[in-house]
Structure 1
Amino acid sequence: MPSQRPDEVGYGHVVESYVTRMYGGLPRYLVLNGGRFLGPRWWHTTRFTRHLLSDAAAITDEELEALLGYEWRSRLTAAWLIGVDRRARFRERLGDLLLASEVCYSGSAYCFALARLGTHADAEILTAYLDRYLPRTDLHYDQPAALGALLRLDALLGTHHADRFTQPDGLWDQWVNALIHPSNHPDHTPAEQRRWTDLHCDFANGWTGLRR
């Protein structure tokens, strides 16, 4: 489906309201994409997270759809808002976008949201993504984020979906070894992918104290 500008569907305000709002000289989508809010020395974390929580609760489903139908910055932000508020009704939509992999960067946000939703259905979506894209050793998309999210869900659900991907010389090792300079990617281990997912999700879990 071709992307549409939000103003073409009657939601011209959503990008300025939710995507490009500034924090410490950076728009929200860049803060989310770079993970700056995880740094202990970033002075704007409390304000950033309060606003993110408020917007995640306040944004309507229609506004989220307007963002998901646009470009990567809007899709990334929408996925984060969905994940923070755990809006399970967007599971199928996020799964379709993840599997389509139409735009850059936003896929990691879809994986975060699916990890936050935390059900067997979310694990199945991530498994389907890895089945499709890990064999594509020519593509460096969102395989790391998907594996990290799946490993977290396996731990939470007591399942073993990721085992067949992470076995020695399996699909994960083959994909990492096909990187142009695999020696420059020592962080491409399953444990490191799980750690990054845990950092984002555990931080999101800790935000509940800021809802007051």
Structure 2
Amino acid sequence: MESEWRSRLTAAWLIGADRRQHFRDVLGDLLLASQLCFSGQGYCFALARFCTEEDALHLTAYLERYLQQPDCQYDQHWAISALLHIDSQAGTEHASRLLVPEGLWHQWNDAQYRPSPPSRFMDELCALTDSLR
């Protein structure tokens, strides 16, 4: 079980790279469950690559749950970056209510040992993946 995160992470990256959207709900459920370290990074990447309203809803559900738990440092940075990517591509504003001053993101981030602002690194990962195809 300890090494299972590697196979899940790899599978999620491959699913995202190939945009196999039929895995959307499975990945969203696995992200929300947050059972294994690191694998959530791949789930966030795949959902960002799919880039639909449904993916934004999965990411938002994850963030709403885990941003309320400051002791949990899971994949919040990956999820907010994926959500920001979807917002920029789809012209939506799902992340905006989480990022308002004193909102969930800021409350969670301020409680971290090394707080950092939300990043748009998912834009670069998705662009790099597109360039390799």
TM-score normalised by L of structure 2 = 0.95
Q: For residue 76 of structure 1, report the CA deviation from its aligned partner.
A: 0.1
Percentage of identical aligned residues: 55
Amino acid at match of 2:23: F
Note if 1:197 corresponds to 2:122: yes
Q: For residue 168 of structure 1, report the CA deviation from its aligned partner.
A: 1.0
Question: What residue number does 2:59 align with?
Answer: 126
Amino acid at match of 1:111: C
Between the two structures, name the one with larger relative contact order (CA 8 Å, sep ≥ 6).
2
Question: What residue number does 1:162 align with?
Answer: 95
Root mean square deviation of aligned Cα:
1.2
Secondary structure of 2:72's match?
Answer: coil
What stretches of structure 1 of length at least 5 have no aligned partner? 4-69
2: CA distance between counterparts of 1:118 and 1:173? Answer: 24
Q: For residue 71 of structure 1, report the CA deviation from its aligned partner.
A: 1.0
Secondary structure of 1:159's match?
Answer: coil
Secondary structure of 2:41's match?
Answer: helix
Instruction: Give deviations 1:62-119, integer Å, cap 9, x for gaps.
Output: xxxxxxxx81000000000000100000001101100000000010110000000111
1: CA distance between counterparts of 2:96 and 2:51? Answer: 18
Provide the aligned length of Structure 1 versus Structure 2.
132
Amino acid at match of 1:165: L
Amino acid at match of 1:197: M
Instruction: Give deviations 1:41-69, integer Å, cap 9, x for gaps.
Output: xxxxxxxxxxxxxxxxxxxxxxxxxxxxx
Instruction: Give deviations 1:160-188, integer Å, cap 9, x for gaps.
Output: 11111101121111111111x23xx4xx2
1: CA distance between counterparts of 2:97 and 2:68? Answer: 13
2: CA distance between counterparts of 1:121 and 1:176? Answer: 25
2: CA distance between counterparts of 1:153 and 1:199? Answer: 13
2: CA distance between counterparts of 1:172 and 1:119? Answer: 22
What stretches of structure 2 of length at least 5 have no aligned partner? none
Question: What residue number does 1:98 align with?
Answer: 31
Highest Rg: 1 or 2? 1
Secondary structure of 1:110's match?
Answer: helix
4+ residue runs of structure 1 moved beyond 6 angstroms?
Answer: none
Question: What residue number does 1:109 align with?
Answer: 42
